[in-house]
Structure 1
Amino acid sequence: MSSFLLVAIDGGAASGKSSTSRALSERFNFLHVDTGSYYRAITAELLRRGLRVDQVDEVKAALPSITLGTRVEGRAARMEIGGRLAPEAEIRGPEVTAAVSHFAAIPEVRTALLTYQRGQADVARSHGFRGLIMEGRDIGSIIFPNADLRLFLHADVEARAKRRELEGRADAVAERDRMDASRKTAPLVLASGAIDIDSTYLNLEQVVEKIAGLITEKIG
């Protein structure tokens, strides 16, 4: 029996990572970390500073002045930048959505977030959570390669595009997949030993139940 469980969930855009992770965090009293929101918050900050995705040197120069913190709200670990939470409407808006994969492909941006993301396990422990469930694109491969449970969610492009439409959000899922999978640093991959789950024809409840069973086995 593990006293503290680390669960890593990776997958492309609209694969169901966030909804699944939130539901599981509620069921098992895990702290939920959406690393995609972290990259979106960093992107929003860089855009606020007037930086473009092609200004790589300027982006690298700006990173040391960006101070990161964590605010726990319910079972969610939200990133603060300079003590400020970026509004959801801002980080989910079209400008950030169009730029986030470009900024996330800069190796120095990923390096700047690596230690911070790993530190969320200590945040979870200090707040008395039973475990940490972290979702993103390189959690099982880079952030927590030794997580107790590593999962990879995927679905076909048409199904994921439809999900975004139903959410009322514009998101070029195929293009973001291409960029995330082809970047040199921490690409989106199915990590060796991770459990692959196709959610194309599964609803949210079915995916949650499938993973909940795996977590229950790990807990003992």
Structure 2
Amino acid sequence: MPKKDFIIVAIDGGAAAGKSSTSRALSSRFNLMHVDTGSFYRATTLKLLEAGVPAQAGEALVTGLAGLQLDTKTEGNQASIVINGWTPDAAIRSEQVNANVSHYAAIPEVRKFLFDYQRSQAEIAKERGFAGLVMEGRDIGSIIFPEADLRLYLYADPAKRAARRAAEGLTDSIEQRDKMDSSRKSAPLQVPEGATLVDSSELNLEQVVEHVSELVSAAYEN
């Protein structure tokens, strides 16, 4: 029998490194609640854009964030942010959001606004009967859950990531996103100290999932 009945798996990495596909597969295999924090920033970006709030610190941003009430909806193993009763849809993947999300995500007030909400997902996962939480993003193992039972950093060759991004129908620049996310002052994209590195450049999804599943199984035993 596993020594732990609940674990937290933190998966970080740049765009199109395989975080989402791997996280979804793990959530199904181990009954983990899957949380895509990128969707949190995308949804928040969309709501701020709709309200005409510029991507810069200031009174307008503070007021705009104060008007956003957050909740969580689960469907199967997938958790979704709910903002003022609205559940994100395809609009968060629009070209407008793609072009702006890194700008809003770089603002400390925005990251602070979402910090406690992201941390709260662990308790929600426990309350809703999941065996653990798998959370993906760019600062999960370094900022949100540095105490996670398993911290992974997925990466791949930039050209392969760009091809994956294009296959998803997204047009944002991989290199530009990486540069902005890695150079921002607040919670930059980085390899968390002590995290396990997983290079998905030459591996298909099944191979990545099998490798990471072994690490998850070990995390339950330690």
Q: Please give the range of the TM-score, normalised by the shorter of the 2 chains.
A: over 0.9
Amino acid at match of 1:202: L
Is 1:51 the counterpart of 2:53? The answer is yes
* CA deviation after TM superposition for structure 1 residue 218, in Å: 1.7
**1:192 maps to which residue?**
193
* CA deviation after TM superposition for structure 1 residue 53, in Å: 2.1
Structure 2 runs not aligned, ≥5 long:
none
**2:99 maps to which residue?**
98
Amino acid at match of 1:64: A
Partners in 2 of 1:141 and 1:5 — Cα distance? 17
Could you tell which deviates more after superposition, 61-70 or 17-26? Answer: 61-70
Find the residue that maps to 1:189 and give its secondary structure: coil
**1:80 maps to which residue?**
82
Is 1:29 the counterpart of 2:26? The answer is no
Find the residue that maps to 1:147 and give its secondary structure: coil
Partners in 2 of 1:154 and 1:135 — Cα distance? 13
Find the residue that maps to 2:112 and give its secondary structure: helix
Partners in 1 of 2:56 and 2:193 — Cα distance? 33
8 Å CA contact 2:140, 2:146 repeated in 1: yes
Partners in 1 of 2:57 and 2:50 — Cα distance? 14
Could you tell which deviates more after superposition, 57-66 or 179-188? Answer: 57-66
* TM-score for both structures, normalised by structure 1: 0.97
Partners in 1 of 2:56 and 2:114 — Cα distance? 20
Find the residue that maps to 2:210 and give its secondary structure: helix
Find the residue that maps to 1:43 and give its secondary structure: helix
Which of 4, 10, 13 is 2:12 aligned to?
A: 10
* CA deviation after TM superposition for structure 1 residue 55, in Å: 6.3
Find the residue that maps to 1:134 and give its secondary structure: strand
Amino acid at match of 2:95: P
Q: How does 1:137-156 map to 2 (within 5 A)?
A: 137-156=138-157
**1:62 maps to which residue?**
64
Q: Percent identity?
A: 54
Partners in 2 of 1:31 and 1:8 — Cα distance? 12
**2:217 maps to which residue?**
216
Is 1:169 the counterpart of 2:155? The answer is no
Partners in 1 of 2:118 and 2:62 — Cα distance? 19
* CA deviation after TM superposition for structure 1 residue 54, in Å: 4.2
8 Å CA contact 2:80, 2:88 repeated in 1: no
Q: Once the two structures are superposed, what CA deviation does each residue of 1:134-188 show, in whole Å capped at 9, x if it has no partner? A: 0000000000000000000011211100001112221211101000000001000
Give the 3 Å change call, closer, same or farther, for CA 4–146 of structure 1 in structure 2: same
Pairs aligned (count):
219
* CA deviation after TM superposition for structure 1 residue 59, in Å: 1.5
